[in-house]
Amino acid sequence: MRRPTLAAALLLSAAMSATPAAADPVADAVRADMPSLIEIYRDFHANPELSMQETRSAARLATEARRLGFEVTTGVGRTGVVAVLRNGAGPTLLIRADMDGLPVSEQTNLPFASRVRATTREGAETGVMHACGHDTHMTAWIGTARRLAAMRDQWSGTIVMIAQPGEEIGVGAKAMLDDGLFTRFPRPSHAIAFHDSASLPAGTIGYSVGPALANVDSVDIEVRGVGGHGAYPHTTRDPIVLASRIVTSLQTLVSRETNPLDPAVVTVGSFQSGTKHNIISDRANLQITVRSFTPEVRRRLLDGISRIARGEAIAAGVPDDRMPVVTVREAEYTPATVNTDPFTTEMAGLFRQRFGAERVRQVQPVMGGEDFSRYHLADPAIQSLIFWVGGVPEARWREVNGDTSRLPSLHSPFWAPDAEAVISTATEAMVSAALGVLRRS
């Protein structure tokens, strides 16, 4: 029998899921699994690990996948996990969860709050917290694996579930690809992931068509002046004054050199110089984050930073051998994440059929970064979607009337999502999406 098109499969899936939630086998199974999943979530939350150090988390995910019958490979891209479930002919679907926590000391006062301390790559001791919700991502990954393994009779194809390290520092996806993700394992035709959201009410799904998250660049500028005594500034070339001019001029890159219809951000996040009141330093250091959606805008901003830094130094009379040194940290670059269409629109329609229109909304792209982008960029034929699942507890949402500026954001030490709503919604959405792609004819 000829395999149905994706659109036909989605209509079939929608028809099957249009019955009341109480009679829906996916929703019922997820609901029954929630006590176990919440226990797992609390364990992940209490035991976060820094980027590229996710050995404990990876081991638990690998153990669960093996128990379900997946072919499991560990140590991919250092600490990544690849779990493959083959179930006849059909598409290959990649499902990703990220594992790493952040160097943040938790202040939620949850009974299972993290008290973990660890050492960063730079050698600093720090508290560690799942302040970006990757604990919910891993737990929903397990919930999704359980459901799909139990529903083999309803789909056909191959599922590649990956647990990715190092998303927070933008290196994990590249590390897994460089370690043969698309050559050692089945190459996906489709890829999906989700991220919990501090900007949506708990259990609400948000999606963007096209650009969803931004290019992210980190830029360092070493401003080199001529130091001296604070009482005799005329004998110096003050790097603090020069760096201040650079900071001010950088604002024109967005306000005067970028089309107002092209989103862009240039933020100076760190300005460091000097040691004492009466000493003019010989250097200042700036750290800048640069955000954009297109390669053209990205290149214009990066070139503009170098031009402005040199131009201001020339205007200040800095000698040629003391020109500013501008370094773009290419190893930390995260490319923009783009949700492909019509796949994204089709998945959104499936979600609306399952959850109702009031729980699924199209949202604006954000200037945050996500290295999930690299899977589609490695093979543009892959249909790709990352969506949001709201985590703001209902009572808190009502309290601020939806004004999330008054609530903890992702990366905040106070971020405590409604984990049950996030995990149950994400698991049900992932399973539904997988069935939409892989539905057996």
- Positions annotated as catalytic residues are 100, 167
The CB density around residue 320, as the number of other CB atoms within 10 Å, is: 7
Residues of 361-388 as b/e, b for ≥16 C-beta within 10 angstroms? bebebbbbbbbbbbbbbbeeebbbbbbb
CB neighbours of 22 closer than 8 A, spacing ≥ 6? Answer: 28
CB neighbours of 372 closer than 8 A, spacing ≥ 6? Answer: 96, 167, 173, 191, 193, 337, 384, 386
Alpha-carbon radius of gyration of the chain: 24
Residues of 418-437 as b/e, b for ≥16 C-beta within 10 angstroms? bbbbbbbbbbbbbbbbbbbb
Q: Packing angle between helix 239-255 and helix 295-315, nearest 10 degrees?
A: 150
The CB density around residue 161, as the number of other CB atoms within 10 Å, is: 26
- Pairing relationship of beta strands 360-362 and 205-207 according to DSSP bridges: parallel
Distance CA 285, CA 325 (A): 10
The CB density around residue 145, as the number of other CB atoms within 10 Å, is: 26
Q: Which residue has the tokens 């963007």?
A: 208
Q: Which of 203, 196, 95 is nearest to 147 (CA)?
A: 95
Distance CA 14, CA 61 (A): 30
Q: Which amino acid is at 119?
A: T
Distance CA 75, CA 55 (A): 9
- Residue 48 burial by Cβ neighbours in a 10 Å radius (0-12, 13-18, 19+): buried
Two structure tokens written together for 76: 């991919």
